[in-house]
Amino acid sequence: MSLYLRHQALLEQARQACQSRRCWSPYPEMPGKYPQAEQAQAAGAQAFAKHLGTADVPRRFLLDQPGTLNWIGEEISPYTQEPLHIHYPQAEIDALFEAAGQAIDDWARADIETRLGVLMEVLDLIYREHLFEMTHAVMHTAGQSYNMAYAGSGVNALDRGIEALVYAEQAMRSVTPQAQWERSFGPSQIRLDKTYRLVPRGVAVCFSCASFPTWNAWPSMMASLATGNAVVVKPHPATVLPMALSVRAFRQVLDQTGFDPNLVTLALDTRSQPIGKQLVKHPRTALVDFTGSVQFGQWVEKNAYPALAFTETAGCNTVILESVDDLGAVLRSLATTLCMFSAQMCTSPQNIYVPRQGVRTPGGMVSLDEVGQKLARAVSDLCREPKKAAMILATVQSPHTLALLAQMHQEGQSRGRVLLAPQPYSHPQFPNARTSTPLILQVSTQDRDLYAGERFGPISFVIACDSAQQALAQASADVREFGGLTAFLYSGDENFIAQAEEAYARAGAQLTINLTGAMPLNFAAAYSDYHVTGLNPAGNASLTNLAFVSSRFCISQSRRPARAA
Amino acid sequence: MSLYLRHQALLEQARQACQSRRCWSPYPEMPGKYPQAEQAQAAGAQAFAKHLGTADVPRRFLLDQPGTLNWIGEEISPYTQEPLHIHYPQAEIDALFEAAGQAIDDWARADIETRLGVLMEVLDLIYREHLFEMTHAVMHTAGQSYNMAYAGSGVNALDRGIEALVYAEQAMRSVTPQAQWERSFGPSQIRLDKTYRLVPRGVAVCFSCASFPTWNAWPSMMASLATGNAVVVKPHPATVLPMALSVRAFRQVLDQTGFDPNLVTLALDTRSQPIGKQLVKHPRTALVDFTGSVQFGQWVEKNAYPALAFTETAGCNTVILESVDDLGAVLRSLATTLCMFSAQMCTSPQNIYVPRQGVRTPGGMVSLDEVGQKLARAVSDLCREPKKAAMILATVQSPHTLALLAQMHQEGQSRGRVLLAPQPYSHPQFPNARTSTPLILQVSTQDRDLYAGERFGPISFVIACDSAQQALAQASADVREFGGLTAFLYSGDENFIAQAEEAYARAGAQLTINLTGAMPLNFAAAYSDYHVTGLNPAGNASLTNLAFVSSRFCISQSRRPARAA
C-alpha cells in the first residue's frame, strides 16, 4: 500500500477540519491518553537520556549529512542549568545547499500524492516513535513543562504540520496537470496539448526558535517540502535537539522511500558565531521561514530578497477590561495565561488596558487599583504551591530573560507601581531549575516606552487609560505599531465588542472575547485558529492560509500541437 | 437583480475554464464580430476623437478625484508623432492615499459577491461602452495595430481581469466565515463561536507600462479590489489615456453602486519628474503591481517592503532550432512573431539559438547561414507590402527604441553579421507613423553581452551554438540569469524535447513546441496559459495563480463562548 493510501483517510478528515474549522485532531490531547502511555513515556525518557553526554565525554548526535566540519553543541537544560553535552555536526554551508540542490529534482518530479504520503509518514513516525523523546528534548532545551512539551510542541505541532499539507495540496490541486486547447485563428483551427508542471522554488531555510521550536518549524517544513522544495533547518543554538530529532526523522523516511535524505539537513551555529544572515543571503536560498525575535525577523523580511520570507516574530499582546460578569473568573483566567510557560509564548498577553475609573461588574465599579491588586493576587495564588507553579510556569528558557525581569522591575519601581515582584520559585523535581514568578507593573499610557513592544518573559503591565474607548484606541494602535498576535477583551457591551472586533481585525490581532474557564486564553487550535494575520509587525505568515503555501512553487507550462486524434 | 446574479453564469463559466484550462472567452475575438460592429466602431472612433485637444486648447480629461494640483499630459501618438493634447489631473499623492484609505472600510465590509458583482460590471461597462474608444486610445499611445489593440489590449485583457476574479474568489472562499468549535479541557467543555474576517492589506499601487497598458493592469486591479483593497493607478506618462478611461469606468460603477469612487484613482507623473519611487515607498502603500522595465522592476522587488510586490518585467525570450519538418513554415511563423507589434511584447522571441552545423530537415541539413538568411527573407517578405506590414508591425512606441535599433545595428556591423537591417516602412494610413522593420543579427555565443537581457523592440539574434545540446544549455542558462517569459523549440527528437521541457520548466520560461501556422507563437490565452512563472528575473507574479491573489488579504478572527443553545 502506498504511503498516500495509508494516510488518505486521515488527510481527508484534516481537509474537512480545515474547511469547517471545527475541533479535530487525530492525536490524544494528554500524555496519559497516548496508547500504552506508561511504557511509551518510559521509553521516551530513556531515549532522551541516551542522547546526553558528560563533561568528559560529550555524546555525538549522528546525522549522516554531508559537509561535517566539526562537532558542536552548547545546550543547557533550563531544568538543571547543566549542559546537555550533546554535540551535533556543524556543516559546511555550501555543502548542505549543494546536496539539497541535487536532491530536489527527483523530489519535485514525484507526484503530489507521493510527496504527501512521505510527509504524512514523517509525522506519523515522530508520533509513533519519538513523541516522548521529543517531549523531554523540548523540556530540557526550551524549558517547557512536560505536558506543554507533549501537547504544544508535540501533538499540536504535528496537527499544524498536517494542516500545512492540506493547504499545500489545495494550492497544488488548483493547477490542472494538462489541458486540450482549441481555437480558430482566421480559417485555421489550432489544437494544442498543454502540460502544466509545478516547479519548486529551490532550497528553503527554516529557522526555529529557542522557546517553541517545533510548532512553527514543522508546518513550515511541510509547506516547503510538500511543494517540492528542500529544507535546511537552522535551530536556535539553545534548542537544537528537538530539531535534530526532527531532521533525523525526515531523513529516515526520505531514505526509506527512495528519496535523497539531503532534502532535509541541519545547519548549526553558536551564539558567538551566528550563521543566520549567511543562510538568508546564500545565493541558493529561495525561501526563508523565520520564527524568533522581532529584530532579526524584520531584518529577514527586508533582506531575504530574492528569497521569499515567511516570518512569525512577536509583539505586545493586549487585554482590555471594560466590564465583566465575574471578575474573579476573569482574573483567574488572565492570571493562568500570564503564568503559562512563564509567558514565553508569542501569544502570551502582556499589556492589560484598564479604564482609570475602573471595571464595571454586576456589583458596581471595581477601581483600577483594586483590579490590579486582585490580578496580582490571582497570579501569586498560582505560584504559591511549587507543584502547581511547576506545571504552569515551568522554567525560564534564557538567562537573558532573568536580566530583563530585573531591569524591568527596577524601571517599574522608579516609574510606576510594582503590583507583583518576580522571584524564583522552587521546582519540586528540579531544584536547580531557572525559574521566576511573574512581574506585574502598573503604569499609565505615558509609559508607552516601557510596554510598547514585546518584553519577552513573565512581564505584564496594567495600563491606566482614560476610558474604555481610549483603551481600545491605544491597544489597537500599539498592535499596529509594535505588532501583536493575540488580543483579549472582556466586555458586556455588545456595541463596544463590535467596535473592538473591527479595530482588532484591522490591526490584525486574533481576538478572544469574554473567555473564562479551563481553556488557556491563548490556546491556538490547529485547523481552526489562524495564527498571525500578516497585518502588523508580528509576522507576515499565517498558519495556515493559502498565502503560506501558494508562492512556494511556480507553474511552468509547455504546449505543442495536439497529436492527430 | 444584484450585479453578482447578473454576472453569475458568466463567472461560473470562467471558473470552469480556469479549472480545465480549455479555450473559452465570452467576447468576440475580432472587431468585426462585435455586436453591431460598424456603429460601435464608429462611435468608438468618435469618442476617442473627442478626447483630443489642440496645441492652443488642450483638452482636459475630467476625473472627479481629490487633490488635483495641476493638469498635465505629454502623450504623443506613435501613428502621427503629434501630441494628443490631453491633460489629466495631476494629484497630490497624499490626498489620493488619504481618500483611498477612507474608502476601504465600506468596500472591505461588503461581501465577496457584492465586490465580484461590482467588478464584473466594470469589465462589462468597458466592453459595452468603451471598447473601441479604448482600442483607439491604445493605438495612439502604445502604438499597437487596431486589431491588436482590440484583442490584446481589449477583450483578452478583459478575460485576464475575469480570470483574476476567479482566483481571488477561490482564495477567499477557502476561508470559512464562521465556525463552531468545541473541546474538553479536563472536565470542562469549552464551546466557542469563531468568526473569520477577510481584511484587505490596504492601498495598492498599480503601475502600467507604455506598450501594453491594460493586459497586466486590469487583472492586477481586479485582484487587489476583489480582495478589498483600493488601487492607485500609475500609468506610464506616454500611455495614460487607456488607464484614465479604465479609472473612470471603475469610478463610475463604484459610485453607481454606492461605494466610494476613490477606491480607484489616477496618479500621474511626467518623464522628467517621475513619482514611481515615491508611490512605492509611501507609508500607506501595501501592495505594488509593476509592469515595465527590468531595472525598475527589480528596484520595486528590492524596495517595496513592507509592501508586497508583484512584478512582470522582461527578459530574453529564446528559440531553439534543432530539427524541423517544414523549415519554411517554421521560419514564416518565427518571422511573424518577430514582427508582431515590432516585438514590443514581453513575450516576443529575441534569441534564436542554432547549431553551428545547421538544422536537420527531411531534405538534409540546412546550414546555419542559410537558416539565418531564410529567416531574414521571411521577415522582409512580411514587411514588403505596407498594408500587411502595418497590420503586423504597427508602430514603434518610443523614440528610444529607434535609438536602440541604430546602436545595435552598429554593434552588429562591427561584431557580427547583419542579416537584416532595420528601416522605416511607410504606413498606408499614417504617413508620419514611427515605424521600423526588424533588425536581425547573426552572432555567436561569444557575443553574450549583446543578446543577454532584453533589447526592447524589433531586434533579434541568430546565435551560433556548438550543438543542439549546447544551444539548450546556453538558452536555459540565459533565461535563468537574465529572465525569460516564453521559449520556442523546434525539434523532431522526443528525447531532446523532453530535456528541453525539463530545462525550461526549471528556468521558468513557458515553452511552445513545434508550433507553426496561423496562431502567433507568443499568443497567451487567458484562462489557459500561465503568464510569467516567477522562477527567473522576468517577474515574480503569474497571471493567474493563487499566489497572485492569496496574499492580498489577511484573515483576522474573533472567538467567544458560544451562546447557550
Residues in A closer than 8 angstroms to B558, CB to CB, are 501, 504-505, 510-513
Residue A195 within a domain? no
pLDDT tens digits along B186-220? 899 999 999 999 999 999 999 999 999 999 999 99
Q: Which of B301, B302, B533 shows the shortest C-beta gap to A556?
A: B533
Q: Which residues contact A361 (CB under 8 A, 6 or more apart)?
A: A323, A324, A325, A326, A327
Residues in A closer than 8 angstroms to B174, CB to CB, are 170, 545-546
* Beta carbons of B179 and A22 less than 8 Å apart: yes
Residue B217 DSSP label: H
Is A303 in the same domain as A171?
Answer: yes
Residue A293 within a domain? yes
Using the Cβ of B298 and the Cβ atoms of chain A, whether some distance falls under 8 Å is answered with no
The predicted structure's pLDDT at residue B563: 84
Cα separation, B509 vs B417, whole angstroms? 28
Cα separation, B148 vs B214, whole angstroms? 12
Question: A396 in helix, strand or coil?
Answer: coil
Residue B320 parent element (H or E)? strand B318-321
Radius of gyration of chain B measured on its C-alpha atoms: 25
Is B504 in the same domain as B367?
Answer: yes
Using the Cβ of B560 and the Cβ atoms of chain A, whether some distance falls under 8 Å is answered with yes
Q: Which of A188, A519, A533 shows the shortest C-beta gap to B555?
A: A533
Residues in A closer than 8 angstroms to B33, CB to CB, are none
* Alpha carbon of residue B24 to chain centroid: 19
Query: How far, CA to CA in Å, does A234 sit from each of A61, A70, A206, A227, B535?
Result: 16, 16, 6, 20, 24
B483-494 burial, b for 16+ CB within 10 Å, e for fewer?
Answer: bbbbbbbbbeee
Domain count, chain A: 2
* Beta carbons of A199 and B301 less than 8 Å apart: no
Question: A330 in helix, strand or coil?
Answer: helix
Q: Are strands A417-420 and A439-444 parallel, antiparallel or unpaired?
A: antiparallel
Query: How far, CA to CA in Å, does A223 sit from each of A306, A543, B46?
Result: 19, 10, 55
Residues in A closer than 8 angstroms to B519, CB to CB, are 183, 185, 188, 190
User: Residues 530-559, chain B: which have Cβ within 8 Å of A?
Assistant: 530, 533-535, 542, 545-547, 550-551, 554-559
* Beta carbons of A20 and B179 less than 8 Å apart: yes
pLDDT tens digits along B162-171? 999 999 999 9
* Beta carbons of A188 and B506 less than 8 Å apart: no
Q: Which of B186, B506, B551 shows the shortest C-beta gap to A547?
A: B551
Query: Is residue B564's pLDDT more than 80?
Result: no
Q: How many CB pairs under 8 A join A and B?
A: 208
Q: Which three cell numbers stand for residue B15?
A: 471558473
pLDDT tens digits along B274-287? 999 999 999 999 99
- CA dihedral sign, ordered A223, A225, A228, A233: positive
The predicted structure's pLDDT at residue A563: 84
* Beta carbons of B20 and A176 less than 8 Å apart: yes
Query: Any alpha helices (H) in B177-321, and if so which ranges?
Result: 213-226, 241-256, 276-280, 294-303
Residues in A closer than 8 angstroms to B297, CB to CB, are none
The predicted structure's pLDDT at residue A35: 97
Using the Cβ of B273 and the Cβ atoms of chain A, whether some distance falls under 8 Å is answered with no
Residue B527 within a domain? no
Residues in A closer than 8 angstroms to B557, CB to CB, are 510-511, 529-530
Question: A378 in helix, strand or coil?
Answer: helix
Is B227 in the same domain as B326?
Answer: no
Using the Cβ of B506 and the Cβ atoms of chain A, whether some distance falls under 8 Å is answered with yes
Is B217 in the same domain as B238?
Answer: yes
Q: Which of B519, B535, B550 shows the shortest C-beta gap to A545?
A: B550
Q: Which of A192, A505, A556 shows the shortest C-beta gap to B199?
A: A505
Using the Cβ of A186 and the Cβ atoms of chain B, whether some distance falls under 8 Å is answered with yes
The predicted structure's pLDDT at residue B357: 96
Q: Which of A29, A190, A513 shows the shortest C-beta gap to B558?
A: A513
Query: How far, CA to CA in Å, does A251 sit from each of A51, A98, A207, A248, A260?
Result: 18, 16, 18, 5, 8
Query: Any alpha helices (H) in B227-351, and if so which ranges?
Result: 241-256, 276-280, 294-303, 327-339
* Beta carbons of A547 and B545 less than 8 Å apart: no
- Cis before A306 (ω within 30): yes
* Beta carbons of A519 and B21 less than 8 Å apart: no
Where residue A517 falls (left for φ over 0; alpha for ψ -120 to 50; beta otherwise) is left
Is A342 in the same domain as A296?
Answer: no
Residues in B closer than 8 angstroms to A183, CB to CB, are 23, 519, 525
CB atoms within 10 A of CB B316: 25
The predicted structure's pLDDT at residue B565: 56
Q: Which mean pLDDT values do the consecutive 10-residue runs of chain A (565 residues) have?
A: 94 98 97 97 98 97 96 98 98 98 97 98 98 98 98 98 98 98 94 98 98 98 98 98 98 98 98 98 98 94 96 95 98 98 97 98 97 98 96 98 98 95 97 98 95 95 98 97 97 98 97 97 97 96 97 98 81
* Alpha carbon of residue B174 to chain centroid: 27
Query: How far, CA to CA in Å, does B544 sit from each of A288, B166, B441?
Result: 24, 9, 35
Is A303 in the same domain as A441?
Answer: no
Using the Cβ of A193 and the Cβ atoms of chain B, whether some distance falls under 8 Å is answered with no
Q: Which of B179, B190, B512 shows the shortest C-beta gap to A21?
A: B179
Q: Are strands B318-321 and B351-355 parallel, antiparallel or unpaired?
A: parallel
**Nearest CA-CA distance, residue B311 and chain A, Å:** 13
Residues in B closer than 8 angstroms to A555, CB to CB, are 530, 533, 542, 545
Report yes or no: A253 and A122 within 8 Å, Cβ to Cβ: yes
- CA dihedral sign, ordered B9, B14, B19, B23: positive
The predicted structure's pLDDT at residue A565: 57
Residue A194 within a domain? no
The residue type at B51: H
Is A452 in the same domain as A431?
Answer: yes
Residue B494 within a domain? yes
pLDDT tens digits along B450-474? 999 999 999 999 999 999 999 999 9
For B509, the closest chain A residue by CA position comes to A556
At A558, phi and psi to the nearest 5?
-135, 150
pLDDT tens digits along A383-440? 999 999 999 999 999 999 999 999 999 999 999 899 999 999 999 999 999 999 999 9
DSSP conformation letters of B348-391: ---EEEEETT-EEETTEEE-HHHHHHHHHHHHHHHHHSHHHHHH
Is A302 in the same domain as A328?
Answer: no
Residue A454 within a domain? yes
* Alpha carbon of residue B333 to chain centroid: 22
* Beta carbons of B556 and A542 less than 8 Å apart: no
Report yes or no: B533 and B542 within 8 Å, Cβ to Cβ: yes
Is A104 in the same domain as A247?
Answer: yes
* Beta carbons of A190 and B518 less than 8 Å apart: yes
Residue B7 within a domain? no
* Beta carbons of B555 and A530 less than 8 Å apart: yes
Q: Which three cell numbers stand for residue B543?
A: 497571471
Is A346 in the same domain as A375?
Answer: yes
Q: Are strands B359-361 and B364-366 parallel, antiparallel or unpaired?
A: antiparallel
Q: Which residues contact B335 (CB under 8 A, 6 or more apart)?
A: B375, B378, B379, B381, B382
Domain boundaries, position A471: 318-513
Residues in A closer than 8 angstroms to B551, CB to CB, are 534, 547, 551
Residue A223 within a domain? yes
Is A346 in the same domain as A421?
Answer: yes
Residues in B closer than 8 angstroms to A501, CB to CB, are 195, 558
Report yes or no: B541 and B204 within 8 Å, Cβ to Cβ: no
**Nearest CA-CA distance, residue A542 and chain B, Å:** 8
ipTM reported for the complex, 2 dp: 0.97
Cα separation, B191 vs B207, whole angstroms? 48
Mean pLDDT of B372-377: 98
* Beta carbons of A510 and B558 less than 8 Å apart: yes
* Beta carbons of A180 and B22 less than 8 Å apart: yes
Residue A199 parent element (H or E)? strand A188-200
**Nearest CA-CA distance, residue B36 and chain A, Å:** 20
Q: Which three cell numbers stand for residue A127?
A: 508520533
Q: Which of B21, B195, B550 shows the shortest C-beta gap to A176?
A: B21
Average pLDDT, chain B: 97
Is A361 in the same domain as A488?
Answer: yes
Cα separation, B266 vs B228, whole angstroms? 18
> Nearest Cα to A258, choosing from A29, A3, A479?
A3
* Beta carbons of A528 and B181 less than 8 Å apart: yes
Residues in A closer than 8 angstroms to B23, CB to CB, are 181-183
**Nearest CA-CA distance, residue B313 and chain A, Å:** 15
**Nearest CA-CA distance, residue B146 and chain A, Å:** 16
Model-wide pTM > 0.90: yes
Using the Cβ of B509 and the Cβ atoms of chain A, whether some distance falls under 8 Å is answered with yes
**What is the CATH classification number for the domain harbouring B74?**
3.40.605.10
* Beta carbons of B535 and A197 less than 8 Å apart: no
**What is the CATH classification number for the domain harbouring A465?**
3.40.309.10
User: Residues 166-185, chain A: which have Cβ within 8 Å of B?
Assistant: 170-171, 174-176, 179-183, 185
Which residue, chain included where needed, has cell 510598547? Answer: A452
Which of A20, A516, A555 best probes binding to B when mutated, by most B CB atoms within 10 angstroms?
A: A555
Cα separation, A331 vs A186, whole angstroms? 76
